[in-house]
């Protein structure tokens, strides 16, 4: 689908560096001494069997989990006091594996929440509908309408998202992440539970955003076909450890990766 030659944004220096991260819950090690980086403007996939620590990895980057060891650096700054809120302010946005939409709000309202960091009006401005608040609302609404149009969800924009089918909910969630205009997007299984058609569309959206705005993407995906198609580089996790890292073609032929996916028992 995308060839590297025609890219508007050339893949650049590392934007995110994960250094020797370890995370455990009680006695269970979710991630063990893991390091990888993400280059600016690239589409980076994280794959691995169930329970490999993929979502935990995103939750560490996003500040929901705090790794016991190691550090994460974004745009050269080491993230020390990380909360999801601070991470969002630094320009990292995300979607969630099991959908974390605001169920009782309409699709457009969900996407508008993504504009939070671009809203400067306080509650008094809003209550009194001062020009500042009105102007800002107009700009934010316009931006969100553009996203709605891009994701082709005009028809359902006023529907409470709880009532939407799964595939559309996933799209709204992507829309909300896009509305933040973050420079790094973390997508946790954006295509899980979708049919082929829906997957193809989702791929198109992801690639288009990457090409159009140069947004760096980190995505977790199970469908190997999709991963091979859209990602520039792939990290393979198994039991919290990295067993492969590189371009899709290379990872595909890596013996460790094949073993992990075919279920060769460990410790042999």
Partner 1 sequence: MSTSIKTYSKSDYINFSVLMVLGFLVIPMTVNSDYWFTSILIPWLCLALATIGQQVIMGYTGQLALGAAGFMAAGAFACFNLILRVDGLPFFGALAISGLIAAAIGIVFGLPSLRIRGIYLMVATLASQFFIIWVIDKFGWFKNYDSSGIITAQDIVIFGRPYTSPVDMYLVILVVVTVMTVLAINMARGSTGRNWMAVRDMDVAAESMGVSLLKTKLQAFAISSFFCGVAGALFAFTYLKSLEPVAFDIKLSFKILFMCILGGLGTINGAFIGAGFILLFPVLLNYLGNNVFHGAIDATIISAMEQVVFGVLMIVFMIYEPLGMARLWENTKQRLFKKKDK
Stretch near partner 1 under the rule CB under 8 A, chosen from 14-22, 129-137, 225-233, 251-259: 129-137
Kindly state whether residue 94 participates in binding partner 1, applying the rule CB under 8 A.
Answer: yes
Distance (Å, whole) CA 96 – CA 33: 24
Please say which residue, 69 or 134, places its beta carbon nearer to partner 1. 134
Kindly state whether residue 141 participates in binding partner 1, applying the rule CB under 8 A.
Answer: yes
Mind spelling out the 3-state secondary structure of 77-124? EECCCCCHHHHHHHCEEECCCCCCCCCCCEHHHHHHHCCHHHCCCCHH
Binding mask 143-182 for partner 1 (x = CB under 8 A): --------------xx-----------------x---x--
Binding mask 215-234 for partner 1 (x = CB under 8 A): --------------------
Nearest to 243 by CA among 81, 88, 53: 53
Distance (Å, whole) CA 91 – CA 182: 4
Kindly state whether residue 34 participates in binding partner 1, applying the rule CB under 8 A.
Answer: no
Binds partner 1 (CB under 8 A): choice among 11, 73, 126, 207: 126
Distance (Å, whole) CA 37 – CA 28: 25
Burial degree of 71 (CB within 10 A; 0-12, 13-18, 19+): middle
Interface of this chain with partner 1, residues 4 to 33, rule: CB under 8 A: none
Instruction: Write the CA distances from 123 to 118, 119, 129, integer angstroms.
Output: 15, 11, 9
Report, in Å, the least distance between residue 86 CB and partner 1: 9
Kindly state whether residue 64 participates in binding partner 1, applying the rule CB under 8 A.
Answer: yes
Distance (Å, whole) CA 146 – CA 138: 12
- Cβ-contact 89, 117 below 8 angstroms: yes
In the 8-state DSSP scheme, what is residue 26? T
Binds partner 1 (CB under 8 A): choice among 109, 181, 201, 211: 109
Please say which residue, 153 or 242, places its beta carbon nearer to partner 1. 153
Residues that bind partner 1 (CB under 8 A): 62, 64, 83-85, 87-89, 93-94, 96, 100-106, 108-109, 112-117, 119, 121, 123, 126-129, 133-134, 136-138, 140-141, 157-158, 176, 180
């Amino acid at each position: 689908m995308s060839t590297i030659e025609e890219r508007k944004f050339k893949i650049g220096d590392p934007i995110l560096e994960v250094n020797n991260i370890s995370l455990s819950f009680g006695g269970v090690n979710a991630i063990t001494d893991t390091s990888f980086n993400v280059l600016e403007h690239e589409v980076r996939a994280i794959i691995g069997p169930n329970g490999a620590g993929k979502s935990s990895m995103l939750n560490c980057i996003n500040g929901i989990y705090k790794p016991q060891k190691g550090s994460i650096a974004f745009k050269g700054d080491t993230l020390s006091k990380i909360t999801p809120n601070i991470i969002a302010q630094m320009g990292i946005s995300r979607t969630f594996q099991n959908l974390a939409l605001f169920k009782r709000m309409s699709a457009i309202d969900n996407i508008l929440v993504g504009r939070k960091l671009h809203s400067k009006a306080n509650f008094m401005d809003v209550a009194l509908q001062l020009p500042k608040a009105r102007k800002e609302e107009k700009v934010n609404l316009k931006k969100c309408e553009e996203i709605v149009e891009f994701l082709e969800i005009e028809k359902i924009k006023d529907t409470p998202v709880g009532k939407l089918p799964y595939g559309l909910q996933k799209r709204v969630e992507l829309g909300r992440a896009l509305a933040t205009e973050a420079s790094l997007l973390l997508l946790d299984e954006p295509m899980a539970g979708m049919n082929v058609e829906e997957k193809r569309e989702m791929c198109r959206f992801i690639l288009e955003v990457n090409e159009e705005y140069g947004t760096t993407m980190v995505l977790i995906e199970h469908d190997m076909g999709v991963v091979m198609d859209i990602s520039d580089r792939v990290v393979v996790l198994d039991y919290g450890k990295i067993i492969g890292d590189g371009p899709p073609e290379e990872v595909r032929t890596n013996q460790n990766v094949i073993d992990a996916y075919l279920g060769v028992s460990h410790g042999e």
